[in-house]
Protein backbone atom coordinates (compact mmCIF):
# COMPACT_ATOMS: atom_id res chain seq x y z
CA UNK A 1 0.00 0.00 0.00
CA UNK A 2 2.83 2.39 0.85
CA UNK A 3 4.40 1.76 -2.58
CA UNK A 4 1.15 2.79 -4.27
CA UNK A 5 1.00 6.02 -2.25
CA UNK A 6 4.61 6.86 -3.15
CA UNK A 7 3.92 6.15 -6.80
CA UNK A 8 0.82 8.34 -6.72
CA UNK A 9 2.68 11.18 -5.01
CA UNK A 10 5.49 11.00 -7.58
CA UNK A 11 2.98 11.10 -10.44
CA UNK A 12 1.20 14.10 -8.90
CA UNK A 13 4.49 15.92 -8.40
CA UNK A 14 5.50 15.26 -12.01
CA UNK A 15 2.10 16.43 -13.25
CA UNK A 16 2.21 19.73 -11.39
CA UNK A 17 5.86 20.52 -12.01
CA UNK A 18 6.38 23.31 -14.51
CA UNK A 19 8.91 22.81 -17.23
CA UNK A 20 11.92 25.02 -16.75
CA UNK A 21 12.61 27.48 -19.54
CA UNK A 22 16.26 28.03 -20.30
CA UNK A 23 17.14 31.48 -19.01
CA UNK A 24 19.00 32.28 -22.23
CA UNK A 25 15.85 31.54 -24.27
CA UNK A 26 13.87 33.88 -22.03
CA UNK A 27 16.43 36.65 -22.54
CA UNK A 28 16.42 36.16 -26.30
CA UNK A 29 12.63 36.27 -26.43
CA UNK A 30 12.45 39.43 -24.31
CA UNK A 31 14.99 41.15 -26.56
CA UNK A 32 12.98 40.02 -29.59
CA UNK A 33 9.80 41.43 -28.00
CA UNK A 34 11.56 44.77 -27.60
CA UNK A 35 13.04 44.83 -31.11
CA UNK A 36 9.96 43.54 -32.90
CA UNK A 37 7.66 45.75 -30.84
CA UNK A 38 9.73 48.77 -31.76
CA UNK A 39 9.64 47.65 -35.41
CA UNK A 40 5.85 47.38 -35.30
CA UNK A 41 5.43 50.80 -33.68
CA UNK A 42 7.94 52.56 -35.94
CA UNK A 43 6.61 50.85 -39.06
CA UNK A 44 3.04 51.81 -38.23
CA UNK A 45 4.01 55.44 -37.59
CA UNK A 46 6.03 55.55 -40.81
CA UNK A 47 3.12 54.15 -42.84
CA UNK A 48 0.64 56.69 -41.50
CA UNK A 49 3.11 59.60 -41.66
CA UNK A 50 4.70 58.48 -44.95
CA UNK A 51 3.76 61.54 -46.99
CA UNK A 52 4.92 63.93 -44.28
CA UNK A 53 8.22 62.05 -43.82
CA UNK A 54 8.80 61.95 -47.58
CA UNK A 55 8.22 65.71 -47.86
CA UNK A 56 10.46 66.38 -44.85
CA UNK A 57 13.29 64.28 -46.28
CA UNK A 58 13.02 65.83 -49.75
CA UNK A 59 13.47 69.31 -48.28
CA UNK A 60 16.06 68.38 -45.69
CA UNK A 61 19.75 67.49 -45.58
CA UNK A 62 19.00 63.83 -46.40
CA UNK A 63 17.37 64.61 -49.75
CA UNK A 64 17.27 61.53 -51.96
CA UNK A 65 18.27 59.08 -49.21
CA UNK A 66 14.76 57.96 -48.23
CA UNK A 67 13.82 55.44 -50.87
CA UNK A 68 11.43 53.15 -48.97
CA UNK A 69 7.95 52.69 -50.37
CA UNK A 70 4.81 51.96 -48.40
CA UNK A 71 5.06 48.36 -49.61
CA UNK A 72 8.55 48.11 -48.08
CA UNK A 73 7.17 49.40 -44.80
CA UNK A 74 4.28 46.91 -44.86
CA UNK A 75 6.74 44.07 -45.53
CA UNK A 76 8.77 45.30 -42.54
CA UNK A 77 5.62 45.21 -40.41
CA UNK A 78 4.91 41.62 -41.48
CA UNK A 79 8.50 40.63 -40.62
CA UNK A 80 8.28 42.33 -37.21
CA UNK A 81 4.90 40.72 -36.51
CA UNK A 82 6.19 37.29 -37.56
CA UNK A 83 9.23 37.67 -35.32
CA UNK A 84 7.02 38.71 -32.42
CA UNK A 85 4.62 35.78 -32.91
CA UNK A 86 7.57 33.37 -33.18
CA UNK A 87 9.11 34.71 -29.96
CA UNK A 88 5.76 34.53 -28.13
CA UNK A 89 5.43 30.89 -29.11
CA UNK A 90 9.05 30.11 -28.19
CA UNK A 91 8.75 31.68 -24.76
CA UNK A 92 5.90 29.20 -24.25
CA UNK A 93 8.27 26.46 -25.46
CA UNK A 94 6.42 25.84 -28.74
CA UNK A 95 8.72 24.56 -31.47
CA UNK A 96 6.57 26.05 -34.25
CA UNK A 97 7.65 29.48 -32.96
CA UNK A 98 11.22 28.76 -33.97
CA UNK A 99 10.15 27.86 -37.50
CA UNK A 100 8.00 31.01 -37.81
CA UNK A 101 10.81 33.22 -36.48
CA UNK A 102 13.51 31.60 -38.60
CA UNK A 103 11.35 31.57 -41.74
CA UNK A 104 10.34 35.21 -41.51
CA UNK A 105 13.88 36.37 -40.78
CA UNK A 106 15.39 34.16 -43.47
CA UNK A 107 13.05 35.72 -46.04
CA UNK A 108 13.97 39.20 -44.80
CA UNK A 109 17.61 38.88 -45.84
CA UNK A 110 16.60 38.44 -49.49
CA UNK A 111 14.68 41.70 -49.66
CA UNK A 112 16.51 44.49 -51.50
CA UNK A 113 16.14 47.12 -48.77
CA UNK A 114 18.00 45.01 -46.23
CA UNK A 115 21.76 45.13 -45.87
CA UNK A 116 24.65 42.80 -45.14
CA UNK A 117 24.28 43.81 -41.50
CA UNK A 118 20.72 42.43 -41.58
CA UNK A 119 22.00 39.14 -42.96
CA UNK A 120 24.63 38.82 -40.22
CA UNK A 121 22.27 39.97 -37.45
CA UNK A 122 19.42 37.65 -38.50
CA UNK A 123 21.78 34.70 -38.93
CA UNK A 124 23.22 35.35 -35.46
CA UNK A 125 19.76 35.47 -33.81
CA UNK A 126 18.54 32.38 -35.65
CA UNK A 127 21.73 30.63 -34.48
CA UNK A 128 21.14 31.72 -30.89
CA UNK A 129 17.57 30.43 -31.01
CA UNK A 130 18.85 27.19 -32.58
CA UNK A 131 21.05 26.70 -29.51
CA UNK A 132 17.80 26.49 -27.48
CA UNK A 133 15.93 24.29 -29.95
CA UNK A 134 16.06 21.21 -27.68
CA UNK A 135 14.03 23.00 -25.02
CA UNK A 136 11.15 23.57 -27.44
CA UNK A 137 8.35 21.02 -27.67
Distance CA 38, CA 32 (A): 10
pTM (two decimals):
0.78
- For residue 27, give its domain range: 22-135
DSSP, residue by residue, 3-64: HHHHHHHHHHHHHHPPPPPPHHHHHHHHHHHHHHHHHHHHHHHHHHTHHHHHHHHHHSTTTT
Question: Residue 67: inside a domain, yes or no?
Answer: yes
What are the tens digits of pLDDT across the range 58-116?
777 766 666 778 898 899 999 999 999 999 999 999 999 999 999 999 988 888 777 78
pLDDT at residue 54, rounded to an integer: 81
Question: Residue 98: inside a domain, yes or no?
Answer: yes
Give the total number of structural domains in the chain. 1
Question: Residue 78: inside a domain, yes or no?
Answer: yes
Average confidence score pLDDT of the chain: 85
The DSSP code for 131 is T
Question: Residue 8: inside a domain, yes or no?
Answer: no
112 near 69, Cβ under 8 Å? no
Question: Residue 3: inside a domain, yes or no?
Answer: no
Amino acid sequence: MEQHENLLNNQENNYFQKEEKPQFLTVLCILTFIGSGFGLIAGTVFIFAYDWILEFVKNGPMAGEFNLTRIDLIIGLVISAGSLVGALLMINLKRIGFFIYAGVNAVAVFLPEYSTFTLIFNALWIGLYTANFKALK
